[in-house]
Structure 1
């Protein structure tokens, strides 16, 4: 049986999210820890939680274009 450090697993998920990749967690404990870190770091993420696990989907910063950017379009 392979035992992995929870903190290392959480860091791996958060690294993936900050790189713009999705992350998945199955265990309730890991989901709880990832959610807590997402909230602490204020990472914009969509969460799709089901009975079998949770997908964390990074959201790009959406900003409205300035008047100058609109004029160039």
Structure 2
């Protein structure tokens, strides 16, 4: 079964929108996810490691 990397990125974007962190080992998925984050103007901390990338939503202080 083949899973689209763009589809994975959109699923991870939904996680971020819901306040959850997302992780990917794939540089291609990370690239697509970063583009989607910029499109939606989300505030996200990106932690890149040799094994993959963590995307952590930044919560606004109330």
Higher relative contact order, chain-length normalized (CA < 8 Å, sep 6+): 2
The alpha-carbon deviation at position 59 of structure 1 amounts to: 0.8
Q: Distance in 1 between matches of 2:36 and 2:7?
A: 13
Q: Distance in 1 between matches of 2:10 and 2:32?
A: 10
Higher Rg: 1
Structure 1 portions without partners, runs of 5+: 64-73
Count of paired positions: 62
Runs of 4+ with deviation above 3 angstroms: none
Please name the residue that 1:38 is paired with. 37
RMSD of the alignment, in Å?
Answer: 1.1
Q: Distance in 2 between matches of 1:38 and 1:17?
A: 9
Structure 2 portions without partners, runs of 5+: none
